[in-house]
Amino acid sequence: MAVRPLVIVPDAQLRLISNPVAEADRELRLLVDDMFATMYDAPGIGLAAIQIGVPRRVITIDLARKEEAAQPLVLINPEIVWSSEERREMEEGCLSIPEYYETVERPDRIRVQYQDADLKPKILEADGLLATCIQHEVDHLNGVLFIDYLSKLKRDRVLRKFAKQAKLKEPEA
């Protein structure tokens, strides 16, 4: 298991549409292991593969608190097949946009079809934080970030700040 570096905005990789997974091979198991290692290390409650630079439709989630037993969840090729009309507001953050938090409104409840780590088909109904987290991660698979739901003013302000930081970290030409 290896903690891999996180991809941070405005890295263009975060705008890629990730590719479906077709085989439950060693490469997939390695990717999932490294995603959990990276997510727990951060720490975060969810991670999409593109956040470690791998454009595959793979999500890891664990909502357990530190003092609780781990509840690892892997969603491969997830598809939200139903979402409630009822919405809920929740404060979101993203490991690819460090230390920035804003309220986002999303469907309160969802039904998601996915495959587990062995590519066995599954269905999950979720509400509350889990529903929010799954929607946030599925967005990553489609190149969408939670700041895309904010006003252009707020989004541009955040992106400018991170663009400036990235530039400062660039090696001298």
Q: Kindly list the catalytic residues.
A: 137
Beta strands in the chain (DSSP E): 46-48, 58-61, 73-83, 87-94, 97-107, 109-115, 121-127
Nearer to Ni ion, 32 or 147 (CB): 147
Cβ-closest position to Ni ion = 94
Which does residue 58 bind out of Ni ion, ligand GNR, none, counting CB within 5 to 8 angstroms by kind?
Answer: none
Which position among 132, 134, 147, 158 is part of the footprint of ligand GNR (CB under 6 A)? Answer: 132
Binding partner of residue 93 among ligand GNR, Ni ion, none, CB cut-off 5 to 8 Å per kind: ligand GNR
**Residue 58 is a binding residue for Ni ion (CB under 5 A):** no
- Determine which helix (DSSP H) or strand (DSSP E) holds 63, and give its type and residue range: none
Q: Is residue 44 part of the contact set for ligand GNR (CB under 6 A)?
A: yes
Q: Rounded CA gap, 42 and 40, in Å?
A: 6
Shortest Å distance, C-beta 104 to Ni ion: 11
C-alpha to C-alpha distance for 110 and 24, rounded to whole angstroms: 26
Q: Is residue 94 involved in binding Ni ion (CB under 5 A)?
A: yes
DSSP classification of residue 85: S
- Say whether residue 45 binds ligand GNR (CB under 6 A): yes
Backbone angles phi and psi of 35, in degrees to 5: -65, -45
> How many other β-carbons are positioned within 10 Å of the β-carbon of residue 36?
19
What SS3 state is found at 23?
coil
| Residues of this chain, 74-93, that bind ligand GNR according to CB under 6 A | 92-93
Give the footprint of ligand GNR on this chain (CB under 6 A).
44-48, 51, 92-96, 132-133, 136-137, 140
